[in-house]
Structure 1
Amino acid sequence: MKSLIFYILVFISGSLVAQESSSVITLSEYLSYVKKYHPIVKQANLVLNESEAKLLKSRGAFDPKLEVDYNRKTFKSKEYFDKLNATFKIPTWYGIEFKASFEENEGLFLNPEANVPNEGLYSAGVSIPVARGLLINSRMAVLKQSKLFLKQAKANRQLLINNILYEATLTYFKWLQSYNEKQAYKEFLTNADIRFNGIKKSFEAGEAPAIDTLEAKIALNNRKLNLEKARIKLIKSALELSNYLWLNEDTPIEIKDNIIPDTNTLETIGNTLNVSDVIIDYGDLNNHPKLKSLNYKLKGLNIEKRLKYNNLLPKIDLQYNFLSQTPELLRSFSTSAYKSGVNISFPLFLRKERGDLKLTKLKVQDVQFELKTTEITLKNKIEAIKQEILSLQQQNKLTSEIVEDYKTMLRAEERKLFLGESSLFLINSRESKLIDSKLKAITLENNLLNTTASFFNILALSDDPIVNEKRTI
C-alpha cells in the first residue's frame, strides 16, 4: 500500500487538471482592435482632419473675389447720387493682384471725379507691391505654414497612436502575467492536493503520522489561498484589458472567461511590434516622428521669420488700370486712358516690426535647442533600453535554467521520500523554492516584454504594419 501511494505521489504530482475549452487572443489580434476601433485612436485622426481643414482655409486666401459696392441717396424727391462699383479680383502667389471693375455713377450731387459715361466705365489693371509683400506676404506664409502643420499633425498623430498602443500592450502583458501566475498556482495546487490525499491514505493505513497530514493540509490550503488571490488578480487585469477593446459605432466589449492570452508572446513579440531587427540596429533617427514634428515646427517658424524680416521694408504698392467704355473691343484698352496710383507707408522707428522679429528669432532658437536635446535624449534612451533588453534576455535564460534545476531537485527529493530517506517537510521546502523561482521567472518575462514594448514606444513604430487578425472575443 505504501509503495503504491508513493508511486502515485512521484509520478502523478506533476500532472495538470484538464482545462476547459478556451480560445487564445494573440497580441497582434488585440492590437488590431485597439488600432482600428479605440476612441483615442479616432481622436488622433481628428488632429489630422483639423490640420486639413486649416490648410483648406489658408488656400482660401487665394480665392478670386467679387466685390459690389452700391450706394444711393434720395432726399426731398431729389436723387443726390446713385453709385455702383463692382470689382473682380484675382490674388496671386507673389502678392500681385489682378482686377477688373465696372463703375456706374449718376445723380445731381456727384463729386466731379465720380462722373463716368452713361454706359459706365470699365477698367482692368494690376496692383503690385514692390517692397513689403512681394517675395513673401502673410497669405503666402500662412499657406506654407499650413502645409507644414499638416505634416506635423501626421507626425503627432503617429505619436498619439503609438502611446495608446504602448499602454494597451502593457495592459496585455499584465493580463498575461496574471494568467501565468494563476496557471502556476493551479499546477502547484494539483500537486498539493495529490500529496495531501496520498498522505491521508497513508495515515489511515497506519503508515504515516498524523502530523504529516496536518502539514500537507496546511500546504494545500496555502496553495488554495494563493490560487484565489491569483484568480482575482486575473479578473481585474482582464477588466482593465477590456478598456482598450471596442467595436464599430464606439461599442465597448468585455473579455469572455474562455479567452486567454498567448503564452508564447515572448517568442513572437519581436515580429508583432516590428522590433526584432531594430534591436540589433535601430538605424537613423531622422525619421522619428518626434524629430520630424520639431523639424516641421522649425521650418514653420523660419517662414514666419522671413515674413518678419520682410515687414521691415517700406510698404510701396503700385496700381495701374486701363480704362474703357467698350470692353468688348480689346484695342479700346490703351495707355491713353488709364488710372494709376502709388501708396507708400513706412513706420519711422519700426519698433513693432523689430519686436515681432526678435520674438520670432527667440522661438526659432527655442525649437533648435529642443530639437538637439530631444535627439540626444532619444539616442541615449534607445541605447539604454537596448542594453536592458539584452540583459533581460540573458537573465530570462538563466532563470529558466534555475526553474528546471529546482524541478529536478523536487523530483529527486520525492524519490528520496519514496525510499524513506526524506520527509514531507523537505518536499514542501523544495516546492516552495520552486514556486518562488517560477514566480520570479514569470515576473522577469513580464519585465522583458515591458522593456521590449518600451523600445517600440521610444522608436514610435505605430505606423508599421501590425497583423490584422480579428475574430469574436
Structure 2
Amino acid sequence: MKSLKNKFSVLLVLFCSQLSFAQDSLKLSHQEFLNIVKNYHPLAFRYQLQNKIGNAEITKARGNFDPVIAGKLGEKNIDGTKYYEQKNVELGIPTWYGIDIAGSYNYLDGEKLNSSETKGGLYQFGVTVPLAKNLLYDKRRATLDQAKFGFKMTEAEQTVLTNELLLNAENSYWEWVKNFQIYKLQKSAVEINKKRLDLTKKTYEFGERPVIDTVEASSQLQNFELQEREAYLNFVRSTQEMQIYLWRDNQEFFEISQLIFPSSDLDEHSGYNDYEFLIESIQAMQLQNHASLEYYFQKQNILESERRLKWQSFLPKLDFTYNFFNKENYRADFLPLFYNNFQYGLKLEIPVFQRQARADYEIAKLKISQNQQDSQVKLREILTKIETYKNEISNYFTQIDISTKNLINYQRLLNAEEMRFSNGESSLFLINSRETKLLEATEKNIELKAKFLKSYNKLKWLNENFLR
C-alpha cells in the first residue's frame, strides 16, 4: 500500500500544474499498449508457463511405460566359505494393455545355496498378464489419459484467463482515453471562459455591460475550473490504474518517469463500423467450441477416465505369470511352453464386501453429474453474456447517434445565443446556460462512446475464446 501511494505521489508530481503536450512526453497507442500486455505482463507469462507444466505432466505420465533396467551384484563369504556369489541383470517392459514383459540373466554360485536355486548362468524370459482387473484399463493408462485431457483443459483455461486479462487491460486503456478527452474538454471550456471574463471586464470598463455580468462570467469560470480539476484528478487516477498493465522485459515494472498521453482517440476505433460483423461472427460460432465449455468437456473426460478406473475395482485381481528359463551354454527349447524349463503362477484376490469399490465408483459418478451441471450453467452464462453484450452494443450505438445530433443542436443554440448577445438581445446568463448544456452533452457523448467500446471489447474477447 505504501508503494502504491509513493507511485501515486510520483504521478501527481509529474502531472503538477496543468497538463501540457511537451516534446518529451510519451504517447501510447491502443495497439502498443495491448502488445506490451501480451508480451510482458507477468500474468500472461504465467499462463504460458502453466501450459508448459501441463505438457510436462504428459511426459511424466508416459514415464510409467518406460522400460526399466536393473542390476544386482553380491557375494557372501564367512570363514572362507563362499555362501553365494550372484550377478544379475534385468529388463522390465510395461506395455499399454497392462501386460508386463521381463527378461533377465542371472549367474549364481556358492556352497550354501537354497535347493530351489540354480547354479551357473540362467536366462529368463517372462510375461505377466492381468486376466480380469487392469486388463482393459489400469492406473498407468488412466494417468496418461488424464494428463492429456488435463493439458487440453489447461489450454482452454489459460485461453479464457489470457483474454480476460486483455479485456481488462483494453477497457482500462479506453477509460484512460475517455478521462483524457474529458479533461481536454474541461480545459478548453476554462480557456474560453477566461477570455470571456476578460472581454466582459473590458466591456464593463467601457460602460457597455453592468457589473453583474462580470460576476456571472467569473462564477461560470470558477465552476468550469472546479470541473477541470475533477477531470484532471480522474485522468491521473486512470493513468495509475492503467500503469498496473505496463511491464518491461523480464517482468520488470514500468515506472512512469515522464508525461504520458494516449495517442488513440475514441472516435478512431473501428468498432463503430464493424460491430455488426462481430455480432454475425459470434452468432455463427458453435457454442461447444467455447474455451470455457472445452474446459468442462476435458474435465468430463478426466472424470470418465477415473470412473472407468474405479470400475476395475469390482473385478477380481487375477494375474497369470509365466517364465521361461534356459541355462547358459544350453540350446533353447521354447516349445511346448509347459514341458520343461518353465515357471508359472496364478494369483487371485477378491474383496469380500466391495465397500471401497462401491464408494469410489459412486463418488466418480457423482463428480461426473456435478461437472455436467456446471457445464450447463456455464453454457447459460455464455448465452446470456452474448445477448447482453449484443444489446448493449446496439443500444449504445443508437444513443451515440442521438447524442451526436443533440450536440449539433446545442451548438446551434449556443451560436444563436451568442449572436443575440452581440446584438444586445440576450444575457451572459443565457450564454453560460447554453454553454453548460453543450459541455454536459459533449461529456455525455464521450462517456457513451467509452461505454460502447467497453461492451464491444467484451463481445470481441468473448468471441476470441472460441477455439477455431
The TM-score, its normalising length taken from structure 2, stands at 0.88
Instruction: State the alpha-carbon separation in 2 of the partners of residues 243 and 462 from structure 1.
Output: 27
SS of residue in 2 equivalent to 1:207: coil
Deviations 1:75-111 (A, max 9, x none): 4443333444432111110011111012233333322
> What code does the residue aligned with 2:197 have?
F
Q: Is the 8 A contact 1:158 1:463 kept in 2?
A: no
- 2:294 aligned residue: 292
Match of 2:317 among 315, 318, 323: 315
- 1:454 aligned residue: 458
- 1:141 aligned residue: 142
Deviations 1:17-50 (A, max 9, x none): 9965576533222111101110010111121111
- 1:251 aligned residue: 252
Once the two structures are TM-superposed, the CA of residue 254 in structure 1 deviates from its matched residue by 4.2
Deviations 1:316-360 (A, max 9, x none): 111112211247966578633212111211111111111111110
- Relative to structure 1, the CA distance from residue 275 to residue 124 in structure 2 (aligned partners, 3 Å threshold; closer, same or farther) is farther
Instruction: State the alpha-carbon separation in 1 of the partners of residues 228 and 438 from structure 2.
Output: 16
Q: Is the 8 A contact 2:291 2:467 kept in 1?
A: no
> What code does the residue aligned with 1:259 have?
F
Unaligned runs of 5+ in 2: 1-18
SS of residue in 2 equivalent to 1:100: strand
> What are the residue-to-residue correspondences of 1:25-44 with 2, within 5 Å?
25-44=28-47
Q: Is the 8 A contact 2:272 2:397 kept in 1?
A: no
> What code does the residue aligned with 2:349 have?
S
> What are the residue-to-residue correspondences of 1:166-205 with 2, within 5 Å?
166-205=167-206
SS of residue in 1 equivalent to 2:344: strand
Match of 2:378 among 374, 397, 419: 374
Instruction: State the alpha-carbon separation in 1 of the partners of residues 275 and 349 from structure 2.
Output: 60
Q: Is the 8 A contact 1:161 1:462 kept in 2?
A: no
Once the two structures are TM-superposed, the CA of residue 168 in structure 1 deviates from its matched residue by 0.7
Mean CA deviation greater in 138-147 or 279-288 = 279-288
- Relative to structure 1, the CA distance from residue 440 to residue 380 in structure 2 (aligned partners, 3 Å threshold; closer, same or farther) is same
Match of 2:91 among 77, 88, 112: 88
> What code does the residue aligned with 1:361 have?
K
Instruction: State the alpha-carbon separation in 2 of the partners of residues 96 and 287 from structure 1.
Output: 37
Instruction: State the alpha-carbon separation in 2 of the partners of residues 280 and 216 from structure 1.
Output: 52
Q: Is the 8 A contact 1:129 1:316 kept in 2?
A: yes
- 1:279 aligned residue: 279
Deviations 1:256-289 (A, max 9, x none): 4253241145632479xx9662323412211111
Instruction: State the alpha-carbon separation in 2 of the partners of residues 394 and 47 from structure 1.
Output: 43
- 1:301 aligned residue: 303
Q: Is the 8 A contact 1:326 1:332 kept in 2?
A: no
Instruction: State the alpha-carbon separation in 2 of the partners of residues 327 and 57 from structure 1.
Output: 41
Aligned length: 444
> What code does the residue aligned with 1:293 have?
Y
Unaligned runs of 5+ in 1: 1-16, 465-473
Instruction: State the alpha-carbon separation in 2 of the partners of residues 265 and 30 from structure 1.
Output: 18
Instruction: State the alpha-carbon separation in 2 of the partners of residues 456 and 191 from structure 1.
Output: 40
> What are the residue-to-residue correspondences of 1:52-201 with 2, within 5 Å?
52-70=55-73, 72-114=75-117, 116-118=118-120, 120-201=121-202
Q: Is the 8 A contact 2:326 2:332 kept in 1?
A: no
Provide the alpha-carbon RMSD of the alignment. 2.4
- Relative to structure 1, the CA distance from residue 328 to residue 210 in structure 2 (aligned partners, 3 Å threshold; closer, same or farther) is farther
Instruction: State the alpha-carbon separation in 1 of the partners of residues 465 and 124 from structure 2.
Output: 59
Instruction: State the alpha-carbon separation in 2 of the partners of residues 394 and 451 from structure 1.
Output: 14
Once the two structures are TM-superposed, the CA of residue 185 in structure 1 deviates from its matched residue by 0.4
- Relative to structure 1, the CA distance from residue 347 to residue 84 in structure 2 (aligned partners, 3 Å threshold; closer, same or farther) is farther
SS of residue in 2 equivalent to 1:80: strand
**Counterpart check, 1:407 vs 2:411:** yes
- 1:6 aligned residue: none
Instruction: State the alpha-carbon separation in 1 of the partners of residues 183 and 312 from structure 2.
Output: 70
Q: Is the 8 A contact 2:156 2:294 kept in 1?
A: yes
Instruction: State the alpha-carbon separation in 1 of the partners of residues 141 and 130 from structure 2.
Output: 14
Instruction: State the alpha-carbon separation in 1 of the partners of residues 378 and 47 from structure 2.
Output: 22
Deviations 1:335-387 (A, max 9, x none): 33212111211111111111111110011111011111211221122112211
- 1:206 aligned residue: 207
The TM-score, its normalising length taken from structure 1, stands at 0.88
Instruction: State the alpha-carbon separation in 1 of the partners of residues 429 and 355 from structure 2.
Output: 89
SS of residue in 2 equivalent to 1:246: coil
Mean CA deviation greater in 98-107 or 359-368 = 98-107
Instruction: State the alpha-carbon separation in 1 of the partners of residues 465 and 155 from structure 2.
Output: 13
SS of residue in 1 equivalent to 2:343: strand
- Relative to structure 1, the CA distance from residue 139 to residue 239 in structure 2 (aligned partners, 3 Å threshold; closer, same or farther) is same
- 1:216 aligned residue: 217
**Counterpart check, 1:340 vs 2:344:** yes
Q: Is the 8 A contact 1:66 1:86 kept in 2?
A: yes
Instruction: State the alpha-carbon separation in 1 of the partners of residues 67 and 330 from structure 2.
Output: 22
- Relative to structure 1, the CA distance from residue 150 to residue 226 in structure 2 (aligned partners, 3 Å threshold; closer, same or farther) is same
- Relative to structure 1, the CA distance from residue 49 to residue 340 in structure 2 (aligned partners, 3 Å threshold; closer, same or farther) is same
> What code does the residue aligned with 1:166 have?
L
> What code does the residue aligned with 1:222 have?
N
Once the two structures are TM-superposed, the CA of residue 311 in structure 1 deviates from its matched residue by 2.2
Q: Is the 8 A contact 2:28 2:260 kept in 1?
A: no
> What code does the residue aligned with 1:155 have?
A
Q: Is the 8 A contact 2:177 2:265 kept in 1?
A: yes
Match of 1:260 among 244, 250, 262: 262
> What code does the residue aligned with 1:152 have?
M
> What code does the residue aligned with 1:156 have?
E
SS of residue in 1 equivalent to 2:277: coil
Mean CA deviation greater in 451-460 or 203-212 = 451-460
